[in-house]
Amino acid sequence: MKVLIAILTLLTFSMSGTYVQAKENRKQPPPATAATERQLWQSKGYGHILEIEGQSVKVYSYTKDSLVPFGKGNIENNGDIYINEIYDNTKSLEQSNTPRFPMGRFVNGSLTDGLGYVQHLKRIDNLPKVKYNGFSNDPVQNFEVFWQSFEENFSFFPLVKVNWKEVYKEYRPKVGADTSEKELEDILTQMFQKLNDGHSVIFGKKGMIFSKTKVEREEFFEANSKSMQRNVEDGYMKGAVKSKLDGRIVYGQTKSGGAYIKLIGFDESDPQKIDQALAEMVQDLANCRNFMIDMRFNEGGEDFFGLKIAGLFAEKRKLAYAKQVRTGGYEQFSKPTQVYIEPGAKQFSADNIVVLTSPLTVSAGETGTMALKALDKVTVIGEKTCGYFSDMLLRLLPNKQLFSLSNERYTSPDCTNYEQRGLPPDEKIMIKQADIDAGKDPVMNRALELLKKKP
């Protein structure tokens, strides 16, 4: 999974997408935050505080017991907040070639992201007085902040059936003043791997440490993804394929004359680039009426990218899914925000649409699939998706250790939560090693059969 790529290209404090101005917010006046007055804003859920003074922005990670400086950036006159520096010790920003990352548009206590989803913040007079304040290498302090961050924000304790308080009792005695940095990282790893959560990650100095253990079919698709993609292009396509957005979008016509669109990833945050690429694809495939959308190798990125794909086929505004954030106890969440597919400025005229999925369909690839599944004329085939829906909430420990966790809940239009379970296809079709070795693809074959049906 392209977790690091997603973080470096889509960085907010919850990985929900960069700001694309929502229709309902276009006429809002510039916020009253570009003044010299120092303002403090505390989020509802998400566990961060913004300190705004003039055009300078500081961000803090907080729990009821801790306050840790997270990073700094600036706010522009229209309210767009950009983060220029994170205080982590992994040098993740230096490894990217992007000078700043959009957090969203801030207007009078509301922070709006690329979906039009709003985080709500309240004005506070002072930074909270807490037990653990600022940076520290103290092992006990870092353990406490890590545990408390999950205790206050992780969305799925009832789902994963892990008693986090018992985890505390088990591991807290193992940490003392003389615990080494490596020992502490090992302890934290053992704790959060009990959650088996796809978007919980520790960004260590030697690489990323994942909470989730890969299942057999994930490993199968990872090992065979290049061969499978090559088999599709060699055996099913009529002529050469075209590529857009550095290979994120690959498309062409099948030998039967239908359209094949492969979406490798949604990790592009520039909406103008996406719109241009999609417009060119619509023009190139204008004569096609049957569409195959291959999401089997889509490892995530921007949720709004997936909505734009669905918008190519939407005849009217349609509910894609709902999203909410944990705001209190384990079962306390904000009121669900409904996220809609809007018909695109450029569109296909489609009779039939078949979407292909696999255990490598991850994160924004899954929300994109959920959006497509909500449309008429769509059939989803293949295998269930991976089950990473929540955005990644980035946090910083006092020792500047960067980590993430899942703090949101996405539900389908029928109010089903597929976190950890994965989104099931309408028709399950397995591909085997013998198929791949023989240059065959039974999922593609079935898709072609379905596309022959009259609308």
pLDDT at 406 over 60: yes
Give the rounded percent of residues in the chain with a pLDDT score beyond 70. 90
Q: What are the residue ranges of CATH 3.30.750.44 in the chain?
A: 133-210
pLDDT at 16 over 50: no
Q: Other C-beta atoms within 10 Å of 17: how many?
A: 28
For 425-432, the CB contacts below 8 A with 24+ separation are: 425/357, 425/380, 425/381, 425/382, 425/383, 425/384, 426/379, 426/380, 426/381, 427/379, 427/380, 427/381, 428/381, 428/382, 428/383, 428/384, 429/381, 429/382, 429/383, 430/383, 431/228
**Helix (H), strand (E) at residue 266:** none
pLDDT of residue 139: 98
**Averaged pLDDT, 14-25:** 38
Kindly list the distances between the CA atom of residue 176 and the CA atoms of 165, 173, 192, 204, in Å, as whole numbers in the listed order. Answer: 19, 7, 19, 20
Give the whole-angstrom CA distance, residue 65 versus residue 48.
Answer: 13
User: Following CA atoms 73, 146, 94, 273 in sequence, which dihedral angle do they give, to the nearest 10 degrees?
Assistant: -70
Residue 210 in tokens: 């994942």
Q: Which residues contact 24 (CB under 8 A, 6 or more apart)?
A: 116
CATH class, 216-313+348-387+425-451 region:
alpha beta
Average pLDDT, the chain: 90
Give the rounded distance of the alpha carbon of 341 from its chain centre: 17
pLDDT of residue 212: 95
pLDDT at 42 over 80: yes
pLDDT tens for each residue of 122-166: 999 999 999 999 999 999 999 999 999 999 999 999 999 999 999
Give the whole-angstrom CA distance, residue 416 versus residue 374.
Answer: 13
What pairing do the DSSP bridges indicate for beta strands 427-428 and 56-62? unpaired
pLDDT at 94 over 60: no
DSSP annotation string for 75-122: E-TTSEEEEEEE--SS-HHHHSS-S-EEEEEEETTEEE-TTS-EEEEE
Q: What are the residue ranges of CATH 3.90.226.10 in the chain?
A: 216-313+348-387+425-451
pLDDT tens for each residue of 373-398: 999 999 999 999 999 999 999 999 99
Q: Which residues contact 77 (CB under 8 A, 6 or more apart)?
A: 30, 34
pLDDT of residue 407: 97
Give the whole-angstrom CA distance, residue 354 versus residue 183.
Answer: 49
pLDDT tens for each residue of 162-200: 999 999 999 999 999 999 999 999 999 999 999 999 999
pLDDT tens for each residue of 309-328: 999 999 999 999 999 999 99
pLDDT at 32 over 70: no
Residue with tokens 């857009």: 244
Q: Which of 424, 442, 441, 443 is nearest to 385 (CA)?
A: 424
Look up residue 25 and give its DSSP letter: G
Q: Which residues contact 270 (CB under 8 A, 6 or more apart)?
A: none
Q: Other C-beta atoms within 10 Å of 257: how many?
A: 12
pLDDT of residue 17: 39
| pTM for this model (two decimals) | 0.90
Q: Which of 369, 371, 353 is nearest to 311 (CA)?
A: 371
pLDDT of residue 91: 60
pLDDT at 294 over 90: yes
Give the whole-angstrom CA distance, residue 370 versus residue 353.
Answer: 14
Name the residue with higher pLDDT: 8 or 236.
236
pLDDT at 116 over 60: yes
Name the residue with higher pLDDT: 437 or 32.
437
First-last CA distance in the chain:
36
Q: Which residues contact 6 (CB under 8 A, 6 or more apart)?
A: 15, 267, 300, 301, 363, 364, 392
On whether the CB atoms of residues 239 and 252 are closer than 8 A, the answer is: yes
pLDDT of residue 454: 64
pLDDT of residue 28: 44
pLDDT of residue 11: 40
On whether the CB atoms of residues 284 and 251 are closer than 8 A, the answer is: yes
What CATH code would you report for 133-210? 3.30.750.44
pLDDT at 95 over 50: yes
